[in-house]
């Protein structure tokens, strides 16, 4: 994950690297395969190959253009290749992480994750592989960060007379 690795702060480490699942792209891949089969067996038109190629390139860009990670300080989400959209939210500023799964998505361990920050900033990540693992990694890291901050604040207490 080039974007995440290149944008880590000093002393920051990656706790969880997210991956997208191919499940969300099955309809698009099926459509490309159907066009290619129609080319081979029925129409033999180069237009079908061109259309299938365009959809396949779209699939590759869409699948590889999303990066998301949980670091020791923040959640990073990067989308896009030609038009970059990044969201980096500090762990302390995240109010909730919501996982949405249908029954089929639950059985194949895929789902959508909605990260909600303070001030109603939301980022939806679709087609996340192991979304519960993402949520648990976030909660564990947020608890570690909260405990570290509380022990630091206790060590700087001014003695009372």
Q: Edge-to-edge strands of the sheet including 67-71?
A: 14-17, 67-71, 74-79, 85-90
Half-sphere CA count of 8, side-chain side, radius 13 A: 16
Question: What six digits make up the tokens of 122?
Answer: 């939301």
Q: Which of 50, 68, 62, 46 is nearest to 129 (CA)?
A: 68
The pLDDT-based confidence of 160 (bands split at 50, 70, 90) is: low
**Alpha carbon distance 113, 155 (integer Å):** 37
Whether residue 35 contacts residue 48, with contact meaning beta carbons closer than 8 Å, is answered with yes
Give this prediction's pTM: 0.76
Question: What six digits make up the tokens of 89?
Answer: 């939210």
Residue 132 has what pLDDT? 94
101-137 per-position pLDDT tens digit: 999 889 989 999 999 988 778 888 888 999 999 999 9
Residue 106 has what pLDDT? 92
Residue 51 burial (10 A CB sphere; 0-12, 13-18, 19+): middle
- Scanning the structure block, which residue is given the tokens 């061109």? 50
Question: What six digits make up the tokens of 39?
Answer: 């080319």
Question: What six digits make up the tokens of 159?
Answer: 């003695």
Q: Helix 46-64 to helix 26-38 angle, to the nearest 10 degrees?
A: 160
19-73 per-position pLDDT tens digit: 888 777 777 778 777 877 777 777 777 777 777 788 788 888 888 888 899 999 9
**Terminal CA-to-CA distance of the chain, rounded, Å?**
53
């Amino acid at each position: 994950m080039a974007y995440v690795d290149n944008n880590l702060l000093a002393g920051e480490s990656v706790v969880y690297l997210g991956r997208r699942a191919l499940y969300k792209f099955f309809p698009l891949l099926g459509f490309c395969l159907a066009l290619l089969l129609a080319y081979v067996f029925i129409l033999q038109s180069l237009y079908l190959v061109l259309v299938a190629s365009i959809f396949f390139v779209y699939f590759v860009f869409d699948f590889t253009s999303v990066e998301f990670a949980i670091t020791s300080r923040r959640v990073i989400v990067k989308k896009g290749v030609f038009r970059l959209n990044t969201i980096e939210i500090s762990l302390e500023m995240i109010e909730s992480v919501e996982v949405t799964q249908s029954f089929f998505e639950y059985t194949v361990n895929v789902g959508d994750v909605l990260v909600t920050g303070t001030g109603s900033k939301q980022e939806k990540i679709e087609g996340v592989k192991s979304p519960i693992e993402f949520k648990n990694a976030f909660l564990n890291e947020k608890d570690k960060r909260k405990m570290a901050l509380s022990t630091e604040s206790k060590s700087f207490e001014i003695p009372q007379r």
